[in-house]
Chain A
């Protein structure tokens, strides 16, 4: 039985914020993006109180493997301990607070604090301190073991953690968003992917600007105009990439959904013909395309279309509140750094073919898939990130208080609510933003019971 430790219920101290005023039906106040106090509250009421995505199992495939990440601002070591259990240890020496691990990833059975040499097993248990006879205390006391995230749960390789002892089970938290996650995974051999390096970006702006954007079908042809122009610049390449946004996107079969608990989903797959090779046909130009396509067709014949689709960007945005965005073939992670600074890490994914389903073509698929994944971070996301920065700059205008998210609101018949509560709307609708920010407001008004755990 491990020891739970309550660092104290998150106290509002009479939070100075009038949440009903800050978050309204059609608009939100600029302060939710700019106020350092609200950001501090988010680091406990959101990042910590809900299930937050931490890492992917493929980053720690073997026992003793670790990666360092953050839960909000808390530095963590996510690892597979020597017995194979996945843990998220606080990267903080219990002695003086020093981070004990300064590498992004690696393999270690134990961590020794570089400051005074306290050493911890990867279970989090203190294994020794230098010259213990200088201490009167009993180092078997659990309080000297590393703090760790008390609840860790894994959904098909995605590792989540929460500090909230009252949070529902992960599956309940994810709810219907598991369906698109399953579909996204199941298009791959064996229903799985592995992470392989990343395009790493950051911007000077609030983290919610990225989450607001993640299912936004309204910005595409404007923010990404240069990308669409570039992808379609050669006459042999018409209608590539996200060209389907160009005329009347709300009349296209794609849609946006709000799935509860802050999660949303943009499904562009209905725009693409449902046959093998249709996805590959709209993929923009990337290095090596023609060579590898010809090679795969020679090798696999009619089966090549389906395999080429694996190198193509899957037209979905699966957004798991607050920080996990699955889009194309990427797993993008939002990491808040400060009220006006955010890291966006676009992990690339590769296919693995243990069962030989691809008949030895996995290497070629990945050689293509790496190149297709470099496209959007290079030629699309950079423009969004600058627009996020320019929002942050615009929001410095104190007297002009409101940010609108009312596209689609009040138009009869536009937004449909199913019996299970799932809300569906046309592609450019902002209903997903209104709904998730409502959930955000609910969380900011709550008083979650956050705890850490230590080995006994």
Chain B
């Protein structure tokens, strides 16, 4: 019998199937014939991303974490095509436990890269929804601009998000959030911000 694991405590779900599904579902998904035309669904996704951006801007990290499915991934690839994470490191590759750890660290007050914390204003735009092989799962592509103020300076981070969303009983949940920085393969200054 399969033992039930708490993904906040241990990481059993990041296995070979997980990696296989991940690389398969994040390649060749932005196909025109899969674009979802339904304006209601698109508006739902847009509102979901807007709220997510607001929670991050307001540093409401615990509520932000609640947007994710129990078995989830926050993935910031270090190469423009995302690559195969089994064979290469990413800028960030957090499962549920590590994502909670990331928030925990920021909350300690001793994460000097975020003391004082960044102030951000995020713009999320160009939202497109794509169908997948699974009825309850959608891929959402969007562009982002994050204006970040920290330590006396303002800078802009930009790129595109790919959200893999699943429809649950309480609405959409994030299975995977992939953050594709336009300069992901370059040397980045203080990449401690949650993107």
Q: What are 28 A-B contacts with C-beta separation under 8 Å?
A: A196-B87, A196-B88, A197-B79, A197-B89, A201-B187, A202-B189, A204-B189, A223-B112, A226-B105, A226-B109, A230-B105, A233-B104, A286-B11, A287-B73, A287-B98, A289-B10, A290-B11, A291-B15, A350-B87, A366-B87, A370-B89, A378-B102, A382-B192, A383-B113, A385-B189, A385-B190, A386-B112, A386-B151
The segment from A311-319, A341-349, A416-424 found at the interface with B is: A341-349
Query: Given contacts A197-B79, A202-B187, A350-B87, are A383 and B92 in contact (CB under 8 A)?
Result: no
Chain B residues closer than 8 Å to A386, beta-carbon distance? 112-113, 151, 190, 192
Inter-chain residue pair count (beta carbon < 8 A): 139
Choose among A350, A371, A382 the residue that contacts B113 (Cβ–Cβ < 8 A).
A382
- Rounded to whole angstroms, the CA-CA distance of A348 and B91 in the bound complex is 11
Choose among B85, B95, B111, B186 the residue that contacts A383 (Cβ–Cβ < 8 A).
B111
Q: Is A229 an interface residue (CB 8 A)?
A: yes
Give the contacts of B163-190 with A (CB-CB under 8 A): 185-190
Interface string of B1-32 (1 = CB under 8 A from A): 00001000111111100110000000000000
Contact B190 A382 (CB under 8 A): yes
- Rounded to whole angstroms, the CA-CA distance of A230 and B95 in the bound complex is 15
Query: Given contacts A286-B11, A288-B95, are A227 and B89 in contact (CB under 8 A)?
Result: no
Total count of chain A residues near the partner, CB < 8 A:
50
Chain B proximity of A310: nearest CB distance (Å): 15
Query: Given contacts A229-B105, A287-B94, are A363 and B113 in contact (CB under 8 A)?
Result: no
Give the contacts of B57-93 with A (CB-CB under 8 A): 73, 78-79, 83, 85-93
Give the contacts of B98-116 with A (CB-CB under 8 A): 98, 101-102, 104-106, 108-113
Q: Which B residue's beta carbon lies closest to that of A335? A: B187
Q: Which residues of B contact A (CB under 8 A)?
A: 5, 9-15, 18-19, 73, 78-79, 83, 85-95, 97-98, 101-102, 104-106, 108-113, 151, 185-192
Closest 9 CB pairs of A and B: A288-B14, A197-B88, A287-B95, A382-B113, A202-B187, A226-B111, A225-B110, A348-B89, A226-B110
- Rounded to whole angstroms, the CA-CA distance of A230 and B106 in the bound complex is 9
Query: Given contacts A226-B108, A229-B108, are A291 and B113 in contact (CB under 8 A)?
Result: no
Chain A residues closer than 8 Å to B110, beta-carbon distance? 225-226, 229
Q: Which A residue's beta carbon lies closest to that of B88? A: A197
Q: Is A1 an interface residue (CB 8 A)?
A: no
| Main DSSP-derived SS at the B contact region | loop
Q: Which residues of A contact B (CB under 8 A)?
A: 104, 196-204, 223, 225-227, 229-231, 233-234, 236, 285-292, 294-295, 343-345, 348, 350, 363, 366-367, 370-371, 373-374, 378-379, 382-383, 385-387, 389
Chain A residues closer than 8 Å to B185, beta-carbon distance? 104, 200
Chain A proximity of B63: nearest CB distance (Å): 20
Interface centre among A196, A229, A350, A366 (most CB of B within 10 A): A229
- Rounded to whole angstroms, the CA-CA distance of A344 and B191 in the bound complex is 13
Chain B residues closer than 8 Å to A234, beta-carbon distance? 9
Choose among A295, A374, A387 the residue that contacts B90 (Cβ–Cβ < 8 A).
A374
Interface centre among B73, B79, B85, B187 (most CB of A within 10 A): B187
Chain A proximity of B153: nearest CB distance (Å): 9
Contact A363 B89 (CB under 8 A): no
- Rounded to whole angstroms, the CA-CA distance of A348 and B171 in the bound complex is 39
Contact B104 A370 (CB under 8 A): no
Chain B residues closer than 8 Å to A374, beta-carbon distance? 89-90, 92-93
Chain B residues closer than 8 Å to A203, beta-carbon distance? 189-190
Q: Which A residue's beta carbon lies closest to that of B19? A: A367
Contact A290 B5 (CB under 8 A): yes
- Rounded to whole angstroms, the CA-CA distance of A363 and B15 in the bound complex is 12
